[in-house]
Amino acid sequence: MPGTTVPQALALPEREPAVVLDGGLLVVEANRRWRTLHVPFADLSDVGRMVFRDPAAASFFVDRRHEEHDVVAALLDAVDDEHTRQAARAAVRRLREESPRFESLWGGRRLRLKLLDTYAVRHPDLGVLTFDRRTFRRDGLLLRVATPRPATSRLLPLLDHLPA
């Protein structure tokens, strides 16, 4: 969403990977740790495409199916909201054209957005990292904060020394 600003209540923490998304799951703002965590992806601007189109997704996500369901649930939620409907519909059209897997999930059972879930990834330099991911909704935006689990919290500062 060009020109979108992040409300103060959705300010990004510095120590945990965090991202703000619009209704179409386009990245409005991301902190350095989020960008460095997701370094295997060619384009960090569109979470839907990261999950469904980028070849890095196959090895990056520990449970890619969980992430696919998460994208579908977030877009279903956004399509039902008058503030995010337009952006969500554009993302759905794009993903339906580009991804048979998305098309199949979109036409399937109704999925619900989880406001607290587990986010597990395989970082190319740090190995498997596991987080408790919290999602907050405000003003048509989603703030996603990944709080590291104990084993991951020891490795997380190493992201600061890697290129973003």
Asked whether residue 2 carries a pLDDT value surpassing 80, the answer given is no
Q: Give me the pLDDT at residue 162, please.
A: 87
Read off the pLDDT of residues 17-49 as tens digits, 9 standing for 90 and up.
Answer: 999 999 999 999 999 999 999 999 999 999 999
Contact in structure between 96 and 108 (CB atoms under 8 Å):
no
pLDDT higher for 163 or 43?
A: 43
How many whole angstroms separate alpha carbon 76 and alpha carbon 135?
Answer: 15
Q: Give me the pLDDT at residue 1, please.
A: 40
Please, what is the Cα angle at 40 between 37 and 46, to 5 degrees? 80
Q: Mean pLDDT over all residues of the chain?
A: 92
The CATH fold of domain 15-161: Beta-Lactamase (3.30.450)
The one-letter amino acid code at 26 reads L
**Radius of gyration, CA atoms only, the chain:** 15
Both tokens of 10, joined, read 């959705």
Q: Give me the pLDDT at residue 5, please.
A: 53
Residues 6+ apart with CB under 8 A from 137: 143
**CA-wise closest residue to 35 among 14, 58, 10, 49:** 14
How many whole angstroms separate alpha carbon 72 and alpha carbon 108?
Answer: 10
**CA-wise closest residue to 65 among 135, 126, 133, 118:** 118
Give the pLDDT band of residue 9 (cuts 50, 70, 90).
low
Read off the pLDDT of residues 112-146 as tens digits, 9 standing for 90 and up.
Answer: 889 999 999 999 999 999 999 999 998 889 999 99
